[in-house]
Amino acid sequence: MRISIIRVSGKCEFYNNRQIIMSITRKLLAISIAAIGQHAFAADAPEAPAGAAVSEQSVVVVTASLRNHTAASAPAFTTIVTEEDINKSPVNSLPDLLRDTVGVNNMTDSTGRDEIQIRGLGGKYTLMLVNGKRVSSGGALWRGGDFDFSSIPLSSIKRVEIVRGPMAALYGSDAIGGVVNIITKAPTREWKGSIGGEYRVVQPGEEGDQYRVSAAVSGALNDTFGLSLAGEFYDRDAWYATSKSDDTRPARLEEKRAANLNGTLTVKLAENQSLDIDASYNRDKRPRALFYYDYNAAWDWTTRDYREQEIERGTFGVTHKADWGWGNTTAFITKEHARIDDFNSRYNTPQERVLHEDNTYAKAYANFNWGINAVTAGIDLRRQVIKDGVTYLETGRISTDSKAFFVEDELALAPNLHLTLAGRFDDSNRFGNHFSPKSYLVWQGAGGLTVKGGISKAFKAPEAYQLSPEYRTVSCGGKCYLSGNANLQPETSTNYEAGFEIHRSGWDFTAVVFKNDVEDMIVATYDAAGPSRAWTNVAKAKTRGVELQGEVVLSPAFTVSGNYTHLKADYIDETGTEARLENRPENMGMVALNWKMTDRLRSSLSAHYTGKQFYLTQDLPGYTRVDLSLSAKVNRNLTVRTGVKNLTDVDLEKKNKAFDFFELGRNYYVSATYDF
């Protein structure tokens, strides 16, 4: 199977013509705002009463066990972000939303590129899925790629399941910190759709305007076929915290232009069988810009580094599901092809290169019951091919093949007591084989109480480029070379967690303690005899902490929700020196007050605390960000939202110039969605 992306000479007019995006967005918003005055308090059908939202206890999740479970009964601690949560929040990206959930932090770099941490473990230990399928076109890049987060239109998301903790027994490599599974909207029986637009402006600094236009439609073509389509175009100006004309300071938030299209055709093969055919296209461009500046007074030497990246990605997949009476089966195969244009002035000639990455992923599993056993068993097949004639010096490419067998057995020891035992055996042509076991106990008592916990082992396989002896790229800011190492072994971890959940009418509360011990961490080590670095398995890390979250319905009009994470994160380097992991806040918390002002008007005020964290040689101070949002249901079809993010204009550079990341300055937004 091969997916081809047709590159048309020149540039896509809609994609690059920002005036079109701006015009569409402004017209949508102008119509919407004008309508508020006439219809904001119109008496259409009443909405559900406040506090009637479905609790997480009853929401069905699939990520934690590859079978339907409520969030409470699943053998893991899971956070659910619903479509409603996305629509009412003031965020403008998926990472921006995830950072406000318990146990999760978005560690952006100096130009705003995202890296999701779960329980103190970096982005490379977080596995990202879309409908249970891996998304990964960043394997060709060593660092600086956050393209996967912008590959799914926000308007196509039904919910996001965030599993905190390792899931290697089911998903294999990378799922040490946790799993983020994006569930998209399936075709519906009745035809319905939506169009939306958003405009955001940053008050301090210069530029930074953001525009988004989205559309989605779904319905049944006939009794056999259903169709779902979604698209999104996003344009963001670079944001300069001080002045654009200051050529000694890179933009704090880099410019970005993205286009996403996806679709699903569902075929009803029989009463007990269905077939989903998925296709998607994603394009993400970061135009050329300054990203690093340094002046050495002793040598009177100025360094300016520039970069530019663009990814074009096409994905095609087929999924078969069936209910055979004795059990259910799911089987899919997906093919992902990406072309990456990568320029960096730090590279040796050629400074601009074109990379290609192909990922093929197939999975099949069955769910069936046998006595007290609820069994899930299946196989995984993966193949990754990276073509890069610049850094793979001999062959210009590298490929990795792996296969895995996994089984999970949920034993009903008693009506309210379940023990889950799972294991997965991975075999790779690059690093050999690896076994990942898991043991988890769930007890559901009276009054909505659930107590659960477990022990598991997980691993992260070396990236293909880390394993290749012929791989060579510039590092150390252009002062040395970094090469691959064929003798690398997977990073491994032993993980522990225990806690409880209480879900009652009008309130809920969850408390968890966790500990992760990671060994054989892969780091780049220096060769003192020459200007070279190589990856080796020498480091260790340990993270442990507490997670709390809850919600209380104070009255039919007011609801309070919040979460808190306490984290300790340590690291032992190749010399045996122990230190604190950088950019891991010791304390994080969020509290939100939601007010249902009328049946059609809602508001939310939230405060987000990020505690002190270690960076380089010092502790950076904590800070609090405040957000305010307002939502108006104009009529059955039209919803308008507005708000302010970072209301108090927190500026981290003023708190301490050592901050390597930032909070976007006070920004105002207005958006509108028309449902039909």
- CA dist., res. 648 & res. 665, Å (int): 9
Instruction: Compute the mean pLDDT over every residue in the chain, rounded to the nearest whole number.
Output: 87
pLDDT in tens, 445-503: 999 999 999 999 999 888 888 888 888 776 766 667 788 888 888 999 999 999 999 99
Q: For residues 422, 428, 433 and 437, what is the CA-based torsion angle, rounded to 10 degrees?
A: -20
Gap between the Cα atoms of 583 and 340, Å rounded: 29
Higher pLDDT, 110 or 17: 110
Residues 220-266 have pLDDT tens digits of 999 999 999 999 999 999 999 988 999 899 999 999 999 999 999 99
> What is the structure's pLDDT at 363?
98
- Contact of 195 with 242, CB cutoff 8 Å: no
- The proportion of the chain whose per-residue pLDDT surpasses 90, expressed as a percent, equals 63
5: pLDDT strictly greater than 80: no
Nearest Cα to Cα of residue 462 among 428, 424, 423: 428
Tens digits of residue pLDDT in 607-622:
999 999 999 889 999 9
Give strand ranges (E) for 165-255: 178-184, 192-202, 206-207, 210-220, 225-236, 239-240
pLDDT band at 142 (very low <50, low <70, confident <90, very high): low
Closest residue by Cα to residue 468 from 449, 447, 486: 486
Distance CA(633)–CA(636), nearest Å, equals 7
Residue 101: the pLDDT is 95
Closest CA to 129 of 349, 299, 361: 361
- Residue-level pLDDT at 34: 44
Q: Do 46 and 599 form a contact (C-beta atoms < 8 A)?
A: yes
Greater model confidence, 525 or 191: 191
Predicted pLDDT at 384 = 92
Q: Which of 351, 316, 354, 393 is nearest to 141 (CA)?
A: 354
Token pair 């990378």 is at which residue?
A: 174
Look at residue 418 in the predicted model and tell me its pLDDT. 98
What average pLDDT does this structure show over 89-101? Answer: 85
Rounded CA separation 383/674 (Å) = 42
- Residue 181, pLDDT > 90, answer yes
Is residue 439 pLDDT above 90, yes or no? yes
Distance (Å, rounded) from C-alpha 418 to C-alpha 374? 10
Give the helix, strand, coil percentages of the chain, each rounded to 5: 10, 55, 35
Decide: 175 and 404 in contact? Cβ < 8 Å.
no
Rounded to whole angstroms, how far apart are CA atoms 26 and 34? Answer: 12
Please state, in angstroms and rounded to a whole number, the distance separating the CA atoms of residues 632 and 40. 6
In this structure, which amino acid lies at residue 267?
V
Phi, psi of 88 (to 5 degrees): -90, -10
Least confident interval from 34-48, 185-199, 234-248: 34-48
Q: Given a cut of 70, is residue 56 above it in pLDDT?
A: no
Cα separation, 30 vs 667, whole angstroms:
19
pLDDT at 123 over 60: yes
CA–CA distances in Å: residue 487 to residues 57, 87, 490: 46, 48, 10
Predicted pLDDT of residue 144: 54
Banded model confidence at residue 388, pLDDT cuts 50, 70, 90: confident
Whole-angstrom distance, CA of residue 253 vs CA of residue 206: 11
Q: What is the pLDDT of residue 553?
A: 98
Name which of 590, 518, 515, 599 is nearest 560 in CA terms.
590
Q: Is pLDDT of 9 > 80?
A: no
The position carrying tokens 């955001």 is 200
Q: Considering only CA atoms, which of 228, 227, 222, 225 is closest in space to residue 269?
A: 225
**What is the spatial order of strands in the sheet that 157-164 belongs to?**
77-82, 157-164, 178-184, 126-130, 133-134
Q: Which domains, ranges and CATH numbers included, belong to the chain?
A: 13-675 (2.40.170.20)
pLDDT in tens, 318-350: 999 999 999 999 999 999 999 999 998 888 788
Mean pLDDT in residue range 134-157: 74
Is pLDDT above 60 for 7?
no
* Portion of the chain with pLDDT greater than 70, in percent: 88
| The pLDDT of residue 555 | 97
- The per-residue pLDDT for 147 is 78
Give the H or E element holding residue 638: strand 638-645
pLDDT digits (tens, 9 = 90+) for 226-236: 999 999 999 99
Distance in angstroms (rounded) separating the CA atoms of residues 542 and 121: 9
pLDDT at 80 over 60: yes
618 burial (CB, 10 Å; 0-12 / 13-18 / 19+) is exposed
- What 8-state DSSP symbol labels residue 1? -
Q: How many CB atoms lie within 10 A of CB 151?
A: 25
R_g (Cα) of the chain, nearest Å: 25
Q: What is the mean pLDDT of residues 586-597?
A: 97
Compute the average pLDDT of residues 123-140. 83
Integer Cα distance of 63 and 588 in angstroms: 25
Mean pLDDT of 578-585: 90
C-alpha distances in Å from residue 400, one per residue of 310, 338, 381, 428: 24, 16, 11, 7
16-30, 174-188, 546-560: lowest mean pLDDT where? 16-30
| Residue found under tokens 């286009």 | 259
Give 91's pLDDT tier (boundaries 50, 70, 90).
confident
Both tokens assigned to 68: 């339907």
Residue 59 has pLDDT above 90, yes or no: no
Tokens of 335: 């093919």
Phi, psi of 338 (to 5 degrees): -130, 140
Q: With beta carbons less than 8 A apart as the criterion, state whether 236 and 210 touch.
A: yes
Residue 220 or 353, more confident: 220
Q: Summarize the confidence of residues 531-535 as an average pLDDT.
A: 75
Listed residue (113, 104, 171) closest to 147, CA to CA = 113
Burial class (CB in 10 A: 0-12, 13-18, 19+), 421: middle
